[in-house]
Amino acid sequence: MRRSPKETEDAAGLVTRRGIVLGGAQLGFMGLLGLRMRQMQVEEAEDYRLLAEENRINVRLIAPSRGIIYDRYGIPVAQNAQNYRIVIVREQAGNVEETIAKVRRLVDLDDDDLERSLKEMYRRSPFVPITLADQLEWEDIAEVALNAPALPGITPDVGLSREYPLREDFAHIVGYVGPVSDFDLSKIEDPDPLLQIPKFQIGKIGVETKLEADLRGRAGTSRIEVNAGGRVMRELSRDDFTPGNDMQLTIDHGLQNYAQARLAKESAGSVVIDVETGDLLAMASAPSFDPNLFVRGISSKDYNGLRENIYKPLFNKTVQGLYPPGSTFKMMTGLAALRAGVIGPGETVYCPGHTTLGGRRFHCWKRGGHGYMDLNNAITQSCDVYFYEAAQRVGVDRLAELCREFGLGERHDIPMSAVREGIVPSTKWKAQVRGERWNPGETLNTAIGQGDVLTSPLQLAVMTARIASGKAISPRLIKSIDGVEVPVPDAPTLNVPSNIMNLIRKAMHNVSNGSRGTARRSRIVAEGMDMAGKTGTSQVRNITTAERARGVTRNDQLPWERRDHGLFVAFAPFDKPKYALATIVEHGGGGSSAAAPPSRDIMLYALYGDVPPLEAYPKDQRERIKAQHEEMVLRPRLQPEKKATRA
C-alpha cells in the first residue's frame, strides 16, 4: 500500500530525530572515552608506568653484615668469617638426585643437613637458590668449581657466617646466633623483612639476642629485572646495606679465660666486678660449651650430651643460678642490726653451739659453740648464733630493706639471657606469694642466708662491691657501641654510716688474714694486695636430729648432688679496693675449701693482669700452685687487631 505524501514526510522526520539522538549519544560516549584515555595516558601515565615496572622488576633484600663484638681491649669474641658454600637452583639442575649424587662424590655432605636443604628446596619456587652445604673448606669449593660443567644448577658461593674465636670462654655471655624459626617470628609483632630470608640468622641467647636490633644492621636492596616466569635477567640498581653496630664488652678476655680454666673441673660460677665503675670484668660459668656448634644447627648427639651432663653446661650459673648465700649473707644481717642501733659494735653474744626459739633448736655450725662473740669475731669465725640474735632484734623487714639497697633481690639490667631476680624474703613477700604469716623461726634461717633467701653470683658480687666502695654501683656489661663510650652512671652513696661499713670491712679482712679466719688458707701475701672476704656454705639437704646426735655426715661421704654448695665473696686490695668477686661451687662442700682457693687465684689474676706470680702465695702453697698452673689450659693474652675499635 502506498503511503501518502504526509505519512512519508512524518516518517522522515521521526528517523531524523532518532538519528540525531543516537548520534549525539555516540558522540558523547566517544567524547567521554577520549577524555578517559587522555586522563590515563597523560595525567595517570606515571602511575601505570610504575605498575608495569612492578610486573618486570623485583626488589630483593641484601642481608647486612652483623656487628662484631669485642672484649674491653678490642679482642674479637664474635666476628664474621667467610663461609664457603654450595648453592643449587632446582630448575637448572635437571635431575636433582643425580646432580646431588655427583656433588657427593666430590664433597662430603652431612645427611641431616642435606635432608633439611632438600625440604627447603621443594618448599620454594624452582628458580630460588638454596644452600646445599656450607662451612666448607676452600679445597671443596675449588673441586666443585673445577667440575662445574658437569654439575648443572650447582654454584660455589661465598658469604659470611658468625664465628666465636674464643669458643667456650664467652659462650654464656655472648651467646650464639641461629636460623630464624617460626617460634622467633611468633614473638615479633612487626618482623623485619630480613627475617624472611631463608636461613637468615639472629641472636638466640646472650648479648647476641639482647642487642639483636643493634647488631643486625639494616638491609640493602637490589632492583633486578625478571622475565614473565620470575627468572632473574639482570641487576638494574643496588643500595648497599648498613652493617650492624660493633659492640665492646667490659669483659677482660684474659681474666675470663683464666676464670673458666680455674673452674674447669667444677660445676661453678664466678663474677669479677670493678668496684669503682661497675664494669663486669669476668663472668665465668663452668663447665661451658662451644657456641660454634649452634651456629648452623647442633647435632642431636652433641645437644643431648650437653643437656644430660649433670654439671649443666648450658646453664649460666652467674646470672641464672640462684643459691642460698649461706654465711656470705651475714654482713647484711650485721649491717642491718648496727644501722638500726639494736646491737652495738662491741656488744657480745654468747654462743653455746645453738639457740632456742619456740621449743626448737637452731644450731651453730660449730657444735661446741664459739663462746662470747662480738661482730668482728662473729664474721671472722662465722658464728651463727650471733646473727640469730642480731636478726631477731632488727626484724626481717628492716633486714630485707637493707639487702635491696645492696643489690640483692634485684634483677640487674645487663644484656644477658635469663638474668634472675632472686628472693629476699619479708613479711610482705610471704603474704603476697604464699598467703601466709611470717614465722619467727624463719627470721633465724634468713639471718644466716638459708631458708627462702636466694641470690645469684652476680648479685653477691654487686653486694660485695657496694660494701667495698660504700656506693650503690650498678653492674655494666657494654663499654662502647660503635666506638662511642657508654657513660658510667654516678653511683649514690649508700645510707650506711662509714664507721659501720669500716667495721664490716675490717671483719672481712680478718676472715682472710686473721689467725682464726675461715679463709686464712686462701690469703694473699703480696704486699699491698691484702684480700678481704667471707666464706659461705649453703645446705641443700635437711640434717635430722638423729644425724646430729650421731654426727653430721661429711660432704665427701655423700653423693655429689647432696653435698653443700661452697661460696666465697671478696674485695681487694683492702686499703684501696679495685675489684670485688663472688664465686659459687655447686656441691663443692665448704666455702673455705671449695670456693675460696679459686677465688683467690682469680682475684690475683685481676690484680696483676696476668697469671699471678708464685710470690703472691704463702710459701707452703707455691709448689702446688705451680703444678696447678701447669695443668691449666690457658690462652695467651691477645693483642687487638684494629685499634680503631677500642673506645
Active site members:
327
Q: Which residue shows C-alpha cell 642490726?
A: 337
Is beta strand 247-249 parallel, antiparallel or unpaired with respect to 69-70?
Answer: parallel
99: Cα separation from own chain's centroid: 43
Residue among 268, 319, 287 nearest 456 (CA):
319
Distance CA 176, CA 166 (A): 12
Residue 79, SS3 per DSSP: strand
Element of type H or E holding 621: none
Distance CA 95, CA 86 (A): 17
Is beta strand 176-179 parallel, antiparallel or unpaired with respect to 154-163?
Answer: unpaired
Q: Which residue shows C-alpha cell 630493706?
A: 401
CB 420 within 8 A of CB 320: yes
CB 295 within 8 A of CB 507: no
Q: What residues have CB less than 8 Å from 424, skipping those under 6 apart?
A: 400, 403, 404, 408, 409, 453
DSSP secondary structure letter of residue 557: G
Q: Which residue shows C-alpha cell 645487663?
A: 414
CB 499 within 8 A of CB 506: no
SS3 content of the chain, % helix, strand, coil (to 5): 45, 20, 35
Backbone angles phi, psi at 115, to 5 degrees: -65, -40
Element of type H or E holding 35: helix 5-38
Q: Which three cell numbers stand for residue 201?
A: 640468622
The vertex-359 CA angle with 357 and 361, nearest 5°, equals: 65
Cis-peptide into 287, omega within 30 deg? yes
Q: Which residue shows C-alpha cell 642431636?
A: 300
Distance CA 535, CA 634 (A): 27
Residue among 343, 416, 340, 347 nearest 377 (CA):
347
